[in-house]
């Protein structure tokens, strides 16, 4: 049985026995207790895409659940890894990766972190990054709840919803017994409901990776017609998420650069819906250097200078100005964390004003 504090006993008692004025006073007192905990002040953690930060109102909002989903081999796990790397480099609390699919390649994740200027091994040693590979939903839930309840967990990513499996489901399958209909959706629902209060209390972000499943219309004459692609995990994710983002394949540019589309389906913070086009490299990582340069030019931290038929880029780096040939700018941006951070601050300040 939950122990009720003296403050709660006093407030609840006045509501039950007092007049309306006393009840209103008690409610205001209780509201003041919540305001004292600073639960209403929003905090934001950066996403791997600056344009996405802008459209979401500043990034991943603390205390909320986000779902990123898409087809096979569209770049979901890479986006997941880059999200972890960016958050780890932004704040001091722990970020946790839940790998229910058991497919994380350590060397690839290290490379993804390194492209974002983060050293995964050092982050693990300093307890700012934690990797968990649970066998069952119950194992992952227990670990995550322990860390989240301590207040030291800022960001948790789960890859993926489809791979969350209850122990009973596996045991019944091994015994040759049929599992109840909707067991997976029930497991996901329990997983989500356990974390709702912890997310709000500690302003923690939970990012879930999900797949789309293609169903076929088997009615006469329409056997091979694809129906709308539903997501795994039931309807719980639709109700409890603040944002849902679909990753889609885009066109290929003339120079061979591939494009991915981030389609914001649900956005409770700003209400903005639409598509964001992002470049990707050959290894599926995001080509964020192009985006950083684009926003720097837009907001006065860089400008093009044309002289004698050549184009150079002047970058404002602190109080200094750096003039570089156009071909060298992206490499310079890649190696300057301070400039990238300055571009993000300026962009959010201007576009969210």
Q: What is the pLDDT of residues 27-39, one digit of tens each?
A: 787 777 666 556 5
For residue 307, the model assigns a pLDDT of: 82
Segment among 6-10, 122-126, 195-199, 223-227 with least mean pLDDT: 223-227
Query: What value does the mean pLDDT of the chain take?
Result: 86
| Residue 105 confidence (pLDDT) above 50 | yes
Higher pLDDT, 297 or 15: 297
Token pair recorded at residue 27: 């409610």
- The whole-angstrom separation of Cα 313 and Cα 344 is 19
From residue 345, alpha-carbon distances to 5, 201, 271, 339, 341 in Å are: 42, 27, 22, 10, 6
2 confidence band (pLDDT: 50, 70, 90): very low
Percent of the chain residues past pLDDT 90, beyond the cut: 57
Q: What is the rounded distance in angstroms from the CA atom of residue 25 to the CA atom of residue 48?
A: 45
Question: Which range has the worst mean pLDDT, 147-156, 170-179, 258-267?
Answer: 170-179
| Domains of the chain with CATH codes | 44-286 (3.40.50.300), 294-351 (no CATH)
Q: Determine the pLDDT at residue 296.
A: 96
C-alpha span between 286 and 328 (Å, rounded): 19
Q: Give the pLDDT confidence of 209-237 residue by residue, as tens digits.
A: 998 876 555 556 555 555 456 566 667 77
Residue 203's Cβ-count burial label (10 Å; 0-12, 13-18, 19+) is buried
Average pLDDT over residues 45-61: 96
Q: Is the pLDDT of residue 45 over 70?
A: yes
Give me 72's structure tokens: 């096979």
Query: What count of other Cβ atoms lies within 10 Å of the Cβ of residue 181?
Result: 8
Specify the higher pLDDT residue, 350 or 25.
350
3-state per-residue secondary structure call for the chain: CCCCCHHHHHHHHHHHHCCHHHHHHHHHHHHHHHHHCCCCCCCEECCCCHHHHHHCCCCEECCCEEEEEECCCCCHHHHHHHHHHHHHHHCCCEEEEEECCCCCCHHHHHHHHHHCCCCHHHHHHCCCEEEECCCCHHHHHHHHHHHHHCCCEEEEEEECHHHCCCHHHHHHHHCCCCCCCCHHHHHHHHHHHHHHHHHHHHCCEEEEEEEECCCEECCCCCCCEECCCCECCCCHHHHHCCEEEEEEEEEECCCCCEEEEEEEEEECCCCCCEEEEEEECCCCCECHHHHHHHHHHHCCCEEEEEECCEEEEEEEECCEEEEEEHHHHHHHHHCCHHHHHHHHHHHHHHHCC
The CA distance from 252 to 277, in Å, is 11
């Amino acid at each position: 049985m939950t122990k009720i504090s003296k403050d709660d006993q006093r407030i609840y008692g006045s509501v039950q026995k007092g007049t309306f004025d006393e009840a209103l006073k008690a409610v205001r007192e209780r509201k003041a207790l919540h305001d004292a905990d600073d639960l209403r002040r929003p905090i934001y953690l950066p996403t791997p895409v600056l344009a996405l930060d802008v459209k979401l109102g500043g990034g991943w909002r603390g205390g909320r659940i986000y779902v990123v989903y898409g087809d096979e081999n569209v770049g979901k796990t890479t986006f997941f890894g880059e999200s972890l790397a960016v958050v780890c480099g932004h704040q001091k609390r722990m970020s946790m990766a839940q790998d229910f699919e058991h497919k994380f390649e350590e060397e690839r994740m290290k490379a993804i972190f390194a492209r974002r200027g983060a050293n995964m091994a050092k982050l693990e040693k300093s307890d700012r990054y934690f990797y968990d590979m649970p066998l069952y939903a119950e194992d992952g839930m227990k670990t995550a709840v322990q860390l989240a309840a301590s207040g030291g967990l800022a960001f948790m990513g789960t890859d993926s919803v489809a791979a969350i499996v209850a122990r009973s489901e596996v045991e019944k399958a091994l015994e040759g017994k049929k599992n109840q209909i909707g067991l997976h959706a029930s497991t996901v629902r329990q997983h989500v409901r356990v974390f709702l209060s912890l997310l709000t209390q500690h302003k923690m972000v939970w990012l879930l990776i999900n797949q789309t499943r293609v169903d076929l219309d088997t009615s006469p004459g329409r056997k091979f017609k694809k129906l709308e692609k539903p997501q795994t995990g039931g309807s719980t994710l639709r109700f409890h998420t603040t944002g849902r983002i679909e990753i889609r394949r885009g066109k290929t540019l003339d120079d061979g650069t591939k494009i991915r589309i981030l389609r914001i389906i649900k956005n409770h913070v700003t209400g903005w819906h639409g598509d964001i086009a992002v470049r990707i490299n050959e290894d599926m990582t995001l080509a964020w250097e192009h985006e950083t340069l684009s926003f720097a030019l837009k907001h006065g931290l860089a400008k093009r200078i044309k002289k004698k038929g050549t184009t150079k880029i002047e970058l404002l780096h602190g109080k200094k100005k750096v003039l570089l040939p156009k071909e060298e700018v992206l490499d310079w941006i890649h190696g300057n964390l301070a400039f990238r951070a300055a571009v993000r601050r300026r962009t959010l300040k201007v576009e969210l004003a």
